[in-house]
Structure formats: C-alpha cells, structure tokens
Structure 1
Amino acid sequence: MTHLSWLSIVRLGLVQLCLGAIVVLTTSTLNRLMVVEAALPAVLPGLLVALHYGVQITRPNWGFRSDSGGDRARFIVLGMLALALGGFLAAFGFVVMTSAYWPGLAVSVLAYALIGMGVGASGTSLLALLATATHPRRRAAAATITWLMMIFGIAVTATVVGKMLDPYSPARLLELVAAVGLIAVTLTVAAIWGIEARHGGMEPPREARQSFRAGIAEIWAEPRARHFTLFIFLSMTAYFMQELILEPYAGLAFGFTPGQSTQLSGAQNGGVFVGMLTVGIAATGLRIGSLRAWVMLGCAGSALALTVIALAGQIVGGGALLLPATIGLGVFNGMFAVAAIGSMMALAGEGRGAREGTRMGLWGASQALAAGFGGLIGAGAVDLTRQFTDTASAFGFVFVLEAGLFAAATWMASRVIDGRVIDAQRQPGLIHMVAGE
C-alpha cells in the first residue's frame, strides 16, 4: 500500500470542508431562525442538534467497519448524501413548523437523525482512511490540514449564506440549503474518486476482524486512549456550549438580523482557522512552545473571551465588543482544538495494531456526545434563567458557566498533557501528545 501524497490529503480535506458547510447551516442558521424569527424555545433546536450528535454514538462501529476492510469510499459518499438530504429536510421542516408545528417537528426529527448518520458514516470513514493510508510522520499534519479545511468551509458558508439570506424568506432558505448540499455531494465524489483504490487496498490483519465488542474493549483498556477520551469529553463540552446560543444572543440582546448573526458565526469560525494556523506555524515551523502551553493558552483565552461576551450585554454600547470578542473566542478555540486533533491522529496509530478506525471512532463519539450535551445544556440553561432574569443576563450567565468549564479544562490539560517542547525533527507533523497514567 502506497501512502497518501500531500495532494491526496488535500483532496480528502475537501470532504471535511463539505461536512462543515452543511452542518453549519443546521447548527447555526436554522437554530437562530427557530429561536428568533419563530420565537421557539432555545431548548428545541438544542434537542434536535443533540439528536444529531447522539446518533453519532455509532461512530466507533463505522470505524471498526473500516478496520475490518469495509468500503470506505462508499461509506464516505453515502454518508454525504444522507447529510445533504438531512440538511434540506431540516430547512423544510423548519418552514413547515412555522405553520404546522407537529408535522414540521416530525420532519425535523427525521432530518437531524439523517444528519447525525451522515456525519458519522462519512466523517469517521474519512478519518480512518487518513489514519491508515497516511505515513506516520504525516498523520498529525494531515489531521490539521483537513480540519483547517473544514473550518474554512464553515466560515465561508456561514458568511456567504448569511449575506444571501437577507432579506429572509422561506423560499430563499430552501434554495440556499439545497444548493450547498448539491455542491457538497458533487465535490465529495470528485475528491474521493480513485483514492481508496490506490491507497487503501491492503488486507486488514486477522485481529482486525474480531467482534466489535472485543475490539472496543481492547481500546478502552489502553490507559492513554481512555484518558484522552475523557479529556476530549470535558474540553469539547466547554467548546460546544455556546454553539446554539451565540446567534440568538446576538439577535435578542443586540438586534442583529439573521444575516448579521450568521456572519458573526462566520467571523468566529474564521478566528478558529487563524488560531489553528498560528499554532501550526509556531509549533511545527518555529518550534515555539510546548503542547501543554498551547492547549492551556487556548482554554484560558477562550474563558476570557466568553467573559467579555457575557459582559457586553451588561454595559451600554457593549454591542461594539461582541464582534472582536467573538473573533477572539474563535482564535483561542482554534489553538486548543488543533492540539487535540493532531494528538488524535498521532495516538490513533499507537497501542494495539489495526485499530486506527476504532480509536478515531471512539474519540469522535466522545466529541459528538460532548457537543450534544454541551449544546443542550447551554440552550436549556438559557431557557431556564430567562424565567428569572432579563435576556442579556440569562445568556451572560451561561457564557460565564462555559468560561468556568474552560478553566477546568485548562487545569486538566496541565495534568494530562505532556509538557515537553515539540521537536519537529524527532516528531514531524504538527504536535504530539502523551496522556499519562
């Protein structure tokens, strides 16, 4: 089996770009429309997004199928088709919900289940292909490249769709979501075409063909894999708590239009891109700082930015702080996330052999559950606190709570992540993480 070239890695990154482009419409734009335009409780989109994350508990199984010699390209394409269909049905369900609540809700439930299945099948199979077909010296860098492309897709889609969505109309919403889905499927087929035939045809070892239960038990018995799973859950819960409430906060507390709040989300994800790129250049090219320092800086900086976002709603003229604080949150989120992503790819090839896909699936499931849990807790806490205080204070309380979780993640990083300075000569790629006993 030949290893992936840099061009092939970038091609696979296009699939991640497409995943982000569709998902941002369902977790960001539709969420804001439900809460602000339709005046629905924030917990409703929170539950729907939690459903799509909950379905991704199947990620370890998708990864195990890849380890067992499954057709990864087929899973990637079919997963993207399911995701595109789910995205369109989610928009259609929202439109129906505004005039016929229960039928629209039924369509939305089906849609978000399809979205979760599509992300799980396509995303995990893609990462498994990357983990097995990428040279070990390039794994961390490959993970970073593909994730940066996903963030780029999110930022560009949120910005472009945000501008085209004003003035808002249901017909315009459906047209835009359908167009994004069609482009994503077409680009995915073109990106994946022929790659697995050249790079993924090696027969899996016999041990990879044992039962799924036995395989996942072996991974969980590895202390490094288990501790990293717990770290991912805590940090990603903090990471995703603001996902469902930032745009409604901008609309309700500062009067942002749907297009303006969607562009705010695009600015945040643009900041994530800059944060990831900064760490990639500094840690790999310039060998500045240790992994522990970058992760702790990302978590602590995120906590500070969230505090400023919360305070913006409490002071006169605070709206001027929202955009720069949101961009800052994105930058620090990116610094934290890139360390976890590169570590995930590096650790996927460690421990018992022929388990790259299963490990990626386990960590992906941990991230998905944390994302669903964090998003639901954030939305539910806003609904609850709005019963006792004004809107700006209710959102501010949740942002401060999220800042506290990031502070806890900063402490955990100091205990779990090795503090050695990255050595680009000994460990090519972006970063290297060692989770202690």
Structure 2
Amino acid sequence: MATGSQGVSGLAQRVSGWFSDHQAIAWWTNVLRLGLFQLGMGVALAPITGTLNRVLIGDMHISAALVASLMAIHYFVSPVRAVFGYRSDVERARGRWRMPYVALGLMLTYGGLATAPFSLILLGPNDSMPFAIALIICTAIFLAYGVGVNIVETTYLALVSDITPPRDRGKVLAVLWMMLVVGTIVSSIIVGAILERYSPVLLIQVMQGSAVIFAVLATISLLGREQLRPDGTLVNHTDDIRVRLTLVEQLRVVWQQPGLRALFVVLFGGTLALATHDVLLEPYGGQVLGMSVAATTRLTALWGVAMIIGITAAGLALWRGYSPIGVIIGGCISGALGFLVVILAGGSVDVNMFRGGVVFIGIGRGLFIVGSVALIMALADRAHAGLFIGLWGVTQALAQGFGTVGGGLARDIAQQQTGSILLGYTSVYAAALVILLLTLGLIMVLRLGRQLREGAVRSPWSGLQDLPGDQILF
C-alpha cells in the first residue's frame, strides 16, 4: 500500500517537474482546464436554445411570445448579477472565497437544465394538468435556471479576472469564449444526429445528459482554482483588495460617469439587436424554409463555427493592440449584413443563402461579445471586478431578454396582422438590422473610440485605492 502511494507521489512530482520545464504548455493546459466550464455550458445550452424552442414553437404550436418569455426569464432576473458580484467582491476583500457563490449558481443551473425538458410534457396537448398550472411550474423551473446561471457566470468571470494577469486577459477571454462555442457546436452536431428519429422522451434524455456533462466539466474546471494565503490574498497575486463603498454607492459612482453611460447604451443596443434571433432562428428554418428538426438543430453548429471565426478575429485584433471599440464596430457591421441576407433568403426560399446569413450573424456576435468583455475587464479594477462584470452582465442580459421576448412578440403580432408567416419573421430581422445601424451611428456620434484613447472613459474607481481606511462598508 505504501509502495503504491510512493509511486503515485513520485509520478505526480515528475509530471509537476515536466510542466515546470515547459511553461508554455503549462499555461495552455491551465487555460484549457479553466475553459472546461465554458465548454460544459455550451454543451448544456445547445439543446435548450437550439432544439427545445424549435419543438415548442414549430411542432407543438405554442405561442412564440410565450416560449420566448420562458427562455428569457434568466435575462430578466439578471440584476442578481450585480448583487452577487458585489457580495463576492466583499468576501474576497475579507479574505474569503468567491467559490461558494460559484457553487450555489452551479447547483441551481444544473437543477434548471435537468428539469427544463419536462416542459415538453407539461405544455403538451396530452397532459391532464391545467395549462395555467403547467405554465407556473415551467416558470419556476426556468426561474431557478435563470438565477443560477446569472450567479455562476458572474462569479466565474470575476474569478477569471482574479487569477488572470491583465496582459493575458485578451488571450484567455478569446480561448474561454471559443470553448463555449465549441461546446455548442459539438453538442448541436451530436444532438442533431441523435434526434434524426425524434421523440419527446429522447429529447428529455439528451437534455438531462447534457446537464450532467455541464456539472462534471464545471467541477473539474474550478476545483482548486481559488487558493488563498492565511492573510486572504490569492496565491498567484499580491494585490491589496479593499471594498469601501456600499452597492448603492458604487452604482451611483458608475452612473455619474457620462462616458460609461454612453458605453453601456451602445452595449445594450448591439446586444438587443443580435439577440432577436435567439428563439426564432430554428422555427424560421422550419416554418419558412421547410427544414427538419435535425437540420435546424445543426444550424446551431453552423452559427457556432461562425462565432469561433468572430472570436478568433477579435482575439487577434486585441492581441495586436487594436481598440475593443473597433472590434465592437466590426461585430455590428457583420451582424447587420447577416440580418439583411436572412431577410432576402426568406423571400427567395433559399436555404443556402439563409445559412450564409446565419454565418454573418454568428461572426458579428463573436466579435461583439469578445470586444465587450475585453473592454469591461480593461475598465474594471480588481477590487470591483465582480460588480463591474455583474453590471455588464445585467446590461447584456436585459438586452438579450428584451430582444428575445420582443422578437417573439413582434413575430406573433406581425404574423397575425399580415397573415404571412414570412413577414412575421422578416419584420423582426428588419428591426434588428435598423437597431444595429443606430448603434453604429451612436458610436460614431459619441466618438467612443476617441474617448477611450484620451482616457475620458475609465474605471470609476480610479484612485480609490489611495484613500485612507480599510473598513468594508455595507
């Protein structure tokens, strides 16, 4: 027994020594393990956003606005991001971990993902339960998922900010978001193949399996990440982290920065436009272009590949010193072109043109989201990373929520008023195109790129570290 333990210990020492001699490989291995969380999230989200919504709207003929509202609950409970981001900042400043908040979010997210597919049964025509009660149960399921995913995403990104040196954040962010999209691609391809012989029971099994994969990968990714010294500082950082303002006071500080207000408006507008297709893309392919469930599920893979192209381009641009605002502008232009192509594809019933539009939208989304996160992390100091990233999360989540629900509602209204399924969808994509063009115009009018270069837009807490006093205020 002792010999076996000595053998394992010796092997661990040799592996550790090998990685010490190969720092580049060790760095990439560390980043890839950190990205397993994002990979698992992508695996779990593909069936819920790429298949479940398509079946509920396209096959079960449930109102698109109702389905979009369920799918968007997690956007509208996003203010918990700021609350838990701030609380995790406070705990870090007191020498405690962010990890308990990550664990809480992880458990709620898993529970929601594992039970969400039962909406197929609860909302189905053969269920004996009154529709109103079934809808309440489905709302509770998606609410648990929504609160969980908001907590876990914010505290995870704050943890990434804690353990990642500023010079490496651009590379790390690109890798993390790429792994999220890779998880989505792999999941959608596998789910599409499994669902060639579709049945509700099979979809429930697939979605529950993906939830388990997410929980396992997230645990592997985060295990042992937060290592603190007795004085409360991270092992790989020596920053003096202090939080002196209450949550309300910190929100007031942010609001008093005109440049930041303009920046958040831009992020809201771009995200709002790019989110309108979230629950409509697959139903559009099914109802307008006659694509099968498996074929529309594989659209998520195509969109994911396009996202990787956009993320890669954003990462390269950031590594070479280009402004995140330039990356955001590129995302808006690509997204606007994609919506235009999708509109034209519907009129000509051209599936390949439609796929081309999906590619442009995916590239635009990849550019926009990496540019946005890089910009926010560049502006946030370490003592307020959780709150600042939480505020970004609230902005983009509310924008996605309004875009998702607004897109579904607008589709229902337009279809009812015109009697045309095609016009129901294309009117939504036309509105998204207009919003992106307005966002681009706002960037140009406000000259946000110039403001960033001149320092007009900066961290609202710059210089607070030099103030006396180290008591945490609540």
1:126 aligned partner: 156
* 1:111 positional shift: 1.3
1:429 aligned partner: none
What are structure 2's unaligned runs of at least 5 residues?
A: 1-25, 461-474
2:351 aligned partner: 319
Q: Does 1:95 align with 2:125?
A: no
Q: Does 1:363 align with 2:389?
A: no
1:418 aligned partner: 449
Q: 1:308 aligns with which of 337, 341, 354?
A: 341
- For the Cα contact (< 8 Å) 1:59–1:364, is it kept in 2? yes
Separation of aligned partners in 1, 2:79 and 2:117: 24
Q: Does 1:148 align with 2:178?
A: yes
Within a 5 Å distance, the mapping from 1:16-165 to structure 2 comes to 16-69=38-91, 71-98=97-124, 99-100=126-127, 101-165=131-195
Separation of aligned partners in 2, 1:243 and 1:233: 16
* 1:290 positional shift: 5.1
TM-score (norm 2): 0.82
Within a 5 Å distance, the mapping from 1:195-344 to structure 2 comes to 195-197=225-227, 201-202=232-233, 207-208=242-243, 210-285=245-320, 291-315=324-348, 317-344=349-376
* 1:309 positional shift: 0.4
Separation of aligned partners in 2, 1:421 and 1:271: 29
Separation of aligned partners in 1, 2:29 and 2:254: 31
User: What percentage of residue pairs aligned between the two structures are identical?
Assistant: 27
Separation of aligned partners in 2, 1:93 and 1:104: 8
Separation of aligned partners in 2, 1:330 and 1:312: 16
Q: Could you say if the C-alpha distance between residues 433 and 240 of structure 1 is closer, same or farther in structure 2, counting changes exceeding 3 Å?
A: farther
* 1:198 positional shift: 5.4
Separation of aligned partners in 1, 2:339 and 2:157: 31
* 1:434 positional shift: 7.0
Separation of aligned partners in 1, 2:228 and 2:97: 13
* 1:296 positional shift: 2.1
* 1:341 positional shift: 1.8
Cα displacement string for residues 287-313 of structure 1 (whole angstroms, at most 9, x for unaligned residues): 6x6544433232122111111101111
* 1:71 positional shift: 3.2
TM-score (norm 1): 0.88
* 1:320 positional shift: 2.7
Q: Could you say if the C-alpha distance between residues 416 and 66 of structure 1 is closer, same or farther in structure 2, counting changes exceeding 3 Å?
A: farther
The structure number with the bigger radius of gyration is 2
Q: Could you say if the C-alpha distance between residues 157 and 387 of structure 1 is closer, same or farther in structure 2, counting changes exceeding 3 Å?
A: same
* 1:252 positional shift: 0.3
Separation of aligned partners in 2, 1:379 and 1:246: 11
Separation of aligned partners in 2, 1:294 and 1:359: 20
* 1:144 positional shift: 2.4
* 1:132 positional shift: 2.2
* 1:342 positional shift: 1.2
- For the Cα contact (< 8 Å) 1:295–1:413, is it kept in 2? no
- For the Cα contact (< 8 Å) 1:151–1:273, is it kept in 2? yes
* 1:207 positional shift: 4.8
Separation of aligned partners in 1, 2:188 and 2:350: 24
Q: Could you say if the C-alpha distance between residues 410 and 266 of structure 1 is closer, same or farther in structure 2, counting changes exceeding 3 Å?
A: same
Q: Which amino acid aligns with 1:23?
A: L
Q: Could you say if the C-alpha distance between residues 116 and 216 of structure 1 is closer, same or farther in structure 2, counting changes exceeding 3 Å?
A: same
1:194 aligned partner: 224
2:13 aligned partner: none
Q: Could you say if the C-alpha distance between residues 43 and 310 of structure 1 is closer, same or farther in structure 2, counting changes exceeding 3 Å?
A: same
Separation of aligned partners in 2, 1:127 and 1:159: 27
1:375 aligned partner: 404
Q: Which amino acid aligns with 2:306?
A: G
Separation of aligned partners in 1, 2:156 and 2:218: 11
1:428 aligned partner: none
Residue correspondences, number: 419
* 1:241 positional shift: 0.9
DSSP 3-state at the match of 2:80: helix
Deviates more, 1:327-336 or 1:366-375: 327-336
- For the Cα contact (< 8 Å) 2:74–2:150, is it kept in 1? no
Q: Which amino acid aligns with 1:126?
A: Y
* 1:382 positional shift: 0.3
DSSP 3-state at the match of 1:195: coil
Q: Could you say if the C-alpha distance between residues 201 and 28 of structure 1 is closer, same or farther in structure 2, counting changes exceeding 3 Å?
A: farther
- For the Cα contact (< 8 Å) 1:128–1:360, is it kept in 2? yes
- C-alpha RMSD of the superposition: 2.7
Separation of aligned partners in 2, 1:65 and 1:110: 25
* 1:419 positional shift: 5.4
- For the Cα contact (< 8 Å) 2:44–2:213, is it kept in 1? no
Q: Could you say if the C-alpha distance between residues 94 and 310 of structure 1 is closer, same or farther in structure 2, counting changes exceeding 3 Å?
A: same
Separation of aligned partners in 1, 2:212 and 2:431: 39
